[in-house]
Amino acid sequence: MALPSTISTAQALVGEGLPATLITQASDAHPKPQGHKFTYGTAGLRTKADTLDSTCFRVGLIGALRSKKLGGKTIGLMVTASHNPVEDNGVKMVDPRGEMLESSWEPFCTAIANAETSDELVASLEKLVAHFKVDLSAPASVVVGYDTRPSCQTLVKAIIDGLSAMGAQTIDAGLKTTPQLHYLVKCLNTQGTDEAYGEPTEEGYYKKLANAYIKLVSGKGESAPLTVDCANGVGAPALLNLTKYIPAEHLSVRALRTATSSPNELNHGCGADFVKTNQCLPAGYDKEDVKAGERMCSFDGDADRIVFYYLKGPAGAKESFRLLDGDKIASLAADYLSELVKVAGIDLELGCVQTAYANGSSTKYLKQRVPVTCTPTGVKHLHHAAESYDIGVYFEANGHGTILFSASAQRKIREASPGSPAAQGALEQLSALVDLINQTVGDALSDMLLVEVILRARQWGPEEWDGAYEDLPNKILKVNVKDRFLFKTEDAERRLTSPAGLQDKIDEVVGKYKDARSFVRPSGTEDCVRVYAECAIASELTPLATSVSKLVAEYA
C-alpha cells in the first residue's frame, strides 16, 4: 500500500479561543444520543457502533487538541472494537511515541464524550484547553486508521469532521491493524531524527519486520507450516501482505478465517479471545485437517493480540488441546533473550511484567529466572512498567504484549565489542530482534514472527515449548452487577478494598482449596465484574470459581 494520503490540510484558526461556531455547526450534525453514558476505558471508548457517531466526532476534536498540546506532533486515532462482535466499535488515541494516550487526558475524554449539547461540548473542550494550557495557535496533525468493521466508514467520517472543525492536518491511513497504526504514528514523529523508527508506510512496516525476520532465520532450515486463524479480521490482509516480503522457505503459513468480506464472521467462533476464553480450537477446525503437533495461532480482530496452541492427540478430543498463551510467550521470550544477553557479554537487566491474570505457574517459573512485576490490567500499565527495565518483556495472559528495549540497551547492543564469534552472533541477533519486535505495542504479526524465530533457533516444536511449566487449571467468570464501579481494587487488582468485607470472605473461600488464588475486578471494557480463579486440582476449579462468583453476586 502507498503512503498514507493527506486528505485535508491545516486551516488556520482565527483569534485566540476555540473555533466555537465551527465546532457547534459541525457538532449539530453529530448529535449525542440522549442520556447515553460513554467512558474512556482501558482501550478507549468502546460500545455499540450505532451510538458512537458523536463520540467519534468529539474524539476528532480532542485528537487535534492533543496534537496542538504537543506542538503539532502527530497523534493516532484507531477505530476498532478488537475482539468484540461486529456490531460494536470503538476509538482509541495513540500518543506520538506510539504508546497509549496519557492517562490524565482520559477523564476529559469521558466528559467531552458525555456533553449533552453542542454548547456543553464547547464548554467541556474549553475546560480541557485551560487545564492543559493548550496553545490553540499551534498546528495539529492526526493519522486515522480503522479495522474491517462496516461501521468504520461513517465513524471515520465523523472523526474527520471533528478534525476539520479544528483545522487539523488529517492523514487517512486506511485499513490498518492497530499495531500498524501505532507504528505509523511513531515513524511519522521520528522521521529525519536520530531515533527514526522506520518508513511511515504500511509497506515500510512489512519490510522492517520481514528483513529482521529473514536475518534471524536464515540458515536455520525450512519452516514447518504454521496455521493462522486471522479472526476474519484485518489481520488477514496484513498477514497476506507480510508473507509477500518473506520467502516461503522461511515462513510457510496456512491462513484460515480470512473472510473479511463477511462482516458477521468477524471474531465469530474464532480469534484469540474465543480460543483463550474457551480453551479450545476455533469452531470448525476439526474439519480443517489439523494434525497433532502442528503449530497454530489465533489473532484477534485488530491483530494486536495472539495466542498459540497445538493438539497433543487427535482433533476433537478436548484433552488434546494445549494452549500456549501470553504467559507461555513471555516465558519463551524471556528465557531466549536472557541467554542471548549472557552470550553477548553485555550488562542488561531483563525483567518481565504480568498482570494478576498470569497463571501462577508462569509467575513461579519466571520469578526463578528474572525480576517480575505485576500491574493492573490494560496494555498501558504493562507498557509503562516494562520501560523501567533495559529489556522489558510484557505479556497479558490473553496474548497482548511485546518486548521493549530501552534507548541505552539499544546503544549497548549497537556499540558492544564482541569478545568471541558467539558473542558477535548473539549481538547480531539482539540487534535484529530490536527491529523485529514492535516497540510501540503488542502486535500479533510481530509476536508471531518472534515465536517462530525462537522455535527455529531452539529447533523446538510446540511440545518442547509447552514443557517449560504446567498451567494451573484456571477460569474467568463474568458476574453482572448493578454498579461495577462499587468494586475497587488495590495491589495490582489482586485484592478488593470495596465493597467492605468482601475480600475477607473471598480469602476464606480460597483458603479451602489447594494452591488456589482468586481475585475480583470490575471490567474496564464491559458492564460487569470478572472473577478469576485458579487452583491445583482441576475438579476443584468450578466449585472455587462459582463460590467466589456467588459472594460477588450477594454484594451486588
Residues annotated within the binding site for substrate are 396-398, 521-525, 530
| 302 lies in the binding site for Mg ion (CB under 5 A) | yes
SS3 category, 301 = coil
Residue 393's CB is within 10 A of a number of other CB atoms, namely 30
- Smallest distance, Å, CB 418 to ligand 16G? 38
82 tagged catalytic: yes
Stretch touching ligand 16G by CB under 6 A, among 28-36, 187-195, 243-251, 524-532: 524-532
- Partner whose binding site includes residue 378, from ligand 16G, Mg ion, none (CB under 5 to 8 Å by kind): ligand 16G
CB 344 within 8 A of CB 337: no
Q: Which of 82, 124, 331, 431 is catalytic?
A: 82
Which residue lies nearer to Mg ion by CB, 304 or 396? Answer: 304
Q: Please state, in angstroms and rounded to a whole number, the distance separating the CA atoms of residues 377 and 369.
A: 23
Query: Site size for Mg ion, by CB under 5 A?
Result: 5
CB under 8 Å to 9, separation ≥6 — which residues?
A: 169
Phi and psi angles of residue 309, each rounded to the nearest 5 degrees, phi first:
-170, 170
CB under 8 Å to 223, separation ≥6 — which residues?
A: 217, 249, 250, 251, 252, 452, 456
Binding residue for Mg ion, selected from 202, 304, 435, 443, defined by CB under 5 A: 304
| 223 lies in the binding site for Mg ion (CB under 5 A) | no
Which residue lies nearer to ligand 16G by CB, 331 or 440? Answer: 440
Binding site residues, as ranges?
82, 300, 302, 304, 396-398, 521-525, 530
Stretch touching Mg ion by CB under 5 A, among 15-23, 62-70, 106-114, 300-308: 300-308
- Smallest distance, Å, CB 376 to ligand 16G? 9
Which secondary structure element, helix H or strand E, spans residue 332, and what is its range? Answer: helix 326-344
| Contact string 7-46 vs ligand 16G (x = CB under 6 A) | -----------------------------------xx---
Stretch touching Mg ion by CB under 5 A, among 203-211, 298-306, 359-367, 442-450: 298-306
| 82 lies in the binding site for Mg ion (CB under 5 A) | yes
Which residue lies nearer to ligand 16G by CB, 67 or 525? Answer: 525
CB under 8 Å to 492, separation ≥6 — which residues?
A: 355, 356, 374, 375, 376
| 396 lies in the binding site for ligand 16G (CB under 6 A) | yes
| 159 lies in the binding site for ligand 16G (CB under 6 A) | no
Binding residue for ligand 16G, selected from 154, 164, 523, 546, defined by CB under 6 A: 523
SS3 category, 413 = helix
Which residue lies nearer to ligand 16G by CB, 269 or 524? Answer: 524
Which residue lies nearer to ligand 16G by CB, 44 or 167? Answer: 44
CB 48 within 8 A of CB 84: no
Q: Helix 152-165 to helix 53-69 angle, to the nearest 10 degrees?
A: 40
- Smallest distance, Å, CB 534 to ligand 16G? 16
| 524 lies in the binding site for ligand 16G (CB under 6 A) | yes
Instruction: Determine if residue 420 is left, alpha or beta; phi over 0 gives left, psi from -120 to 50 gives alpha, anything else beta.
Output: beta
CB 158 within 8 A of CB 146: no
Radius of gyration of the chain (CA): 23
Question: What ranges make up the beta strands (E) of 239-292?
Answer: 253-256
Which residue lies nearer to Mg ion by CB, 81 or 404? Answer: 81
Binding residue for Mg ion, selected from 99, 300, 466, 471, defined by CB under 5 A: 300
- Smallest distance, Å, CB 92 to ligand 16G? 7
Q: Please state, in angstroms and rounded to a whole number, the distance separating the CA atoms of residues 212 and 223.
A: 16
Angle at 71 between CA 70 and CA 76, to 5 degrees: 55
Q: Please state, in angstroms and rounded to a whole number, the distance separating the CA atoms of residues 517 and 504.
A: 13
| 379 lies in the binding site for ligand 16G (CB under 6 A) | yes
Identify which of 182, 184, 216 has the alpha carbon closest to the alpha carbon of residue 203: 184
In the beta sheet, which residues pair with residue 489? 496
* Four-point Cα dihedral 58, 60, 62, 64, nearest 10: -150
Q: Please state, in angstroms and rounded to a whole number, the distance separating the CA atoms of residues 237 and 230.
A: 9
Q: What part of residues 397-426 is at the interface with ligand 16G (CB under 6 A)?
A: 398, 400
Binding site residues for Mg(2+), as ranges?
82, 300, 302, 304
- Partner whose binding site includes residue 300, from ligand 16G, Mg ion, none (CB under 5 to 8 Å by kind): Mg ion
| 383 lies in the binding site for ligand 16G (CB under 6 A) | no
Which residue lies nearer to Mg ion by CB, 294 or 302? Answer: 302
- Sites of contact with ligand 16G (CB under 6 A): 42-43, 82, 377-379, 396, 398, 400, 523-526, 530
Q: Which residues are catalytic?
A: 82
